[in-house]
Structure 1
């Protein structure tokens, strides 16, 4: 009994430490977004301070962040939808027809650092006069989101029994019809998982957008740098902008966590 009690206490203590370690930066970010720059530098006002919404007014009214929010939403939505349209059928084909070489290519695409491709991308897309537009941002984000979708969906399709499709074909369905009417509805959790993770990646992406976006296509992560000046940093505005970037994704992740968990574990628990 003593050993069990000690283990439970250790487990609870470890869990509390992990949660505090994860939440402390977020709490500090939100608190700093409600302070003036003077209060942020004042250690005595770390916990007790007079909150202000001026930083959010600066972000949403003066800094034109509504446009940047729309840009981020559009790029994330377009890259996610296109990745799902291409990645789900590709993952199904690789899973059902055991395309090991194709699967290896997809895995390599996930392993290659994106920064190593920025210079070739910039050279090619600049010659095509695409740099600064939404097209190049969507395509660059798909470089990571598409392999992610394929990787997740391959594991999910591997866990689905082929007998369901075979029985559908016995009843008169074509292979494509069996995929569309049987496999796809059963794959909804996996598709939701892949779509959510791809959207989150695109929303948070900074590196690709920094190099390939323009003044009119700037996304939120890049726009945050507007608060970093040569001589000073507007910490209040910076934290408010970071909160605007972070909170929507956290809400989406919390609301969709059951789909993410079920989708990621389905391939390991089915079949």
Structure 2
């Protein structure tokens, strides 16, 4: 009994230590967003300070934060929607017809550093007069979202028994109808998982927006960059902007956490 209690105590101590290590950067960022510039750069660091909302006022009043929020929502929403439209049939085809070469090709697009696509994207969109447009950002963000959708859903579709769609096809349904009427409704957790993860990756992307957008279509990560200048760094503004950017992503993750875990675990089990 004593050994069991000791093992439980050690387990919870280890969990608390790991949680502190993982959460420390976020907690530090959150506390710094309520500090003045002097308190942030003071040494040793101040654990007790008089909180201020001046940094958040800078973010929401001096910066056009609402515009950036709308742009990020539009770009992320359309990129994820188009990725689902193309990725779900592709994932189903990979899962049912063992198209491993196609899967590897899609994975390579995700593994390649995003900066390697910037110059081709810039040349193409500038010649098509699509710079500073939602089209350019949506297509570039699909490089992030589409491979995530395909790889999550292909493993998820493999876990769904073939007999379900085969029985529907015996009754006269086409493969396309069986996919829409049977496979997709059963794939809800996997679709939610792919949607959540791909949207968060798109939401946090900085590089494509920095190069392909200008004043009209800048996204939220640019709000952080606006607090950096040659002469100084407004650390309070940076921290407040980072917290404001992370809040929707954290809320989305917490809301769909159950479905994300279920989607990832079920996709790892072959039926």
TM-superposed CA distance for 1:12, in Å, is: 2.3
How far residue 181 of structure 1 moved from its aligned partner, in angstroms, is: 0.7
Counting matched residue pairs gives 271
In the alignment, which residue of structure 2 is the partner of 1:212? 212
Residue in 2 aligned with 1:112?
112
1:38 matched to 2:38? The reply is yes
Residue 61 of structure 1: aligned partner: 61
Q: Give the secondary-structure state (helix, strand or coil) at the position aligned to 1:218.
A: coil
Taking a change above 3 Å as real, the CA distance of residues 56 and 92 of structure 1, as seen in their structure-2 partners, is same
- Give unpaired runs (5+ residues) of structure 2: none
1:248 counterpart = 2:248: yes
| Counterparts of 2:45 and 2:98, CA distance in 1 | 61
What TM-score, normalized by structure 1, do the two folds share? 0.95
SS at match of 1:196: helix
The Cα of 1:35 is off from its aligned counterpart by 1.5
- The alignment partner of 1:52 has SS state of coil
Unaligned runs of 5+ in 1: none
Root-mean-square deviation (Å): 1.6
What's the offset of the Cα at 1:24?
1.3
Query: Normalising by the residue count of structure 2, what TM-score does the alignment of the two structures yield?
Result: 0.95
State the shift of 1:2 in Å: 5.8
SS state of the match for residue 268, structure 2? helix
Name the structure 2 match of 1:125.
125
Secondary structure, counterpart of 1:176 in structure 2: helix
Summarize deviations over 1:158-187 as a string: whole Å, max 9, x none. Answer: 000010001111222111111111111001
Partner of 2:232: 232
Give the drift of 1:246. Answer: 0.8
Secondary structure (helix, strand or coil) at the match of 1:197 reads helix
3-state SS of paired residue (1:269) = coil
User: Is 1:261–2:261 an aligned residue pair?
Assistant: yes
Of residues 116-125 and 193-202 in structure 1, the stretch that sits farther from structure 2 once superposed is 116-125
Secondary structure (helix, strand or coil) at the match of 1:51 reads: coil
Aligned to 1:146: 146
